[in-house]
Amino acid sequence: MYKLLEPDVMNVLILTDFSEVSDNAGKYALDFLGSTPGQIYVLNIQDIDFNKAAPDVLEQKMLDISRKLHKSITLFKRHTKNPNQEFHSILSSDNLINAVRKCVDEKKIDLIFIGAVSLDARHHPLLGNHAYEVVRKIRCNIVAVPGSKKYKKPKTSILPIDYSVLTEEKIYQLIKNCSFVKDTNMTVLEIEENSPRSLKKKAVSHSLPGMLNGATVDYVDMAAPAIFSRDVLLEIQDKFDIIVVLGKNLNVCDRLLHTRYGLCSTIDNQLPILVLHE
């Protein structure tokens, strides 16, 4: 569960490949926590075959990885201003999903931070194949941080909702448990699909404002093709501080985040994306 309602301690997982993008995501995570005490786990995943690797080669590789993990931890310790944050490094040779899932379960992770590469940096989408896998397959709340994005407390958020797959109760639960967006002025981008949704829309419009600490809530109706367009995403980047996606909205996730077909595969998005799971 996403324990951001005055938690005693937050357990945070930072995925790193030792790149500037993942270093930036780690710094963003620490700034996000602010004064909240935290257990910070820094996970690196390596494709290591212990049975086939020559002992001397394996020893040197493990030494190099250990040094890089230590360097990352040192970087984060120097960056944080919170003395109540403890750092732990984790090295795994498992596949990505198994390694992250194991860490989430064993360490009781509340929130995952992952770097989101830009289109200019690499020839694959914003979130990259690995990040998209984590978003879709790991039932933990995730913040995908664009490569050079610095943390600032969001004042405005946008939440695309497909009512055909989400109940009012589920939307209420996900937003209620997330204080990160509860103080933002939120725009709900309502996707018009071919399904009856008037009752769900009415229920959400009555309950959502009461969850947002007095912040404003606006509602915008838009047909699905128009929402997932280049012009709309560019406009969103000018007007909002964060994009919020509900993990159960698989339709929204795919159209926005899919590594090949999603909108972010062609547009260089500069906003952090918060994916909320139950």
Q: Any residues with CB less than 8 A from the CB of 178 and at least 6 apart, and which? A: 2, 4, 141, 274, 276
- How confident is the model over 155-178, as a mean pLDDT? 69
Helix axes 168-176, 198-207, angle to 10 degrees: 30
Summarised one tens digit per residue, pLDDT across range 240-278 is: 898 888 876 766 776 666 555 556 666 677 888 888 886
Percentage above 90 pLDDT, the chain: 23
Lowest mean pLDDT across 35-44, 132-141, 206-215: 206-215
CB-based contact 11:108 (threshold 8 Å): yes
Lowest mean pLDDT across 108-117, 205-214, 227-236, 263-272: 205-214
- Quick check: do 10-146 and 156-272 share a fold? yes
The CATH class of the 156-272 domain is alpha beta
Angle at the Cα of 158 from the Cα atoms of 155 and 162, rounded to 5 degrees? 155
Q: If you average pLDDT over each of 58-62, 76-80, 149-153, 194-198, which comes out highest?
A: 76-80
Q: Assess whether pLDDT exceeds 50 at residue 97.
A: yes
Bigger pLDDT: 190 or 70? 70
Q: How far is residue 74's CA from residue 87's CA, in Å, rounded to a whole number?
A: 9
Locate tokens 């989400």: which residue? 166
For residue 189, give the nearest of 209, 211, 215, 159 by alpha carbon.
159
- One of 3.90.930.12, 3.40.50.10800, 3.40.50.12780, 3.40.50.620 is the CATH number of 10-146, namely 3.40.50.620
Average pLDDT over the chain, rounded to an integer: 76
3-state secondary structure at position 115: strand
Q: Taking the model in full, what pTM does it have?
A: 0.82
- Domain boundary assignment for the chain: 10-146, 156-272
Summarised one tens digit per residue, pLDDT across range 5-41 is: 445 789 999 999 888 889 999 999 999 988 889 999 9
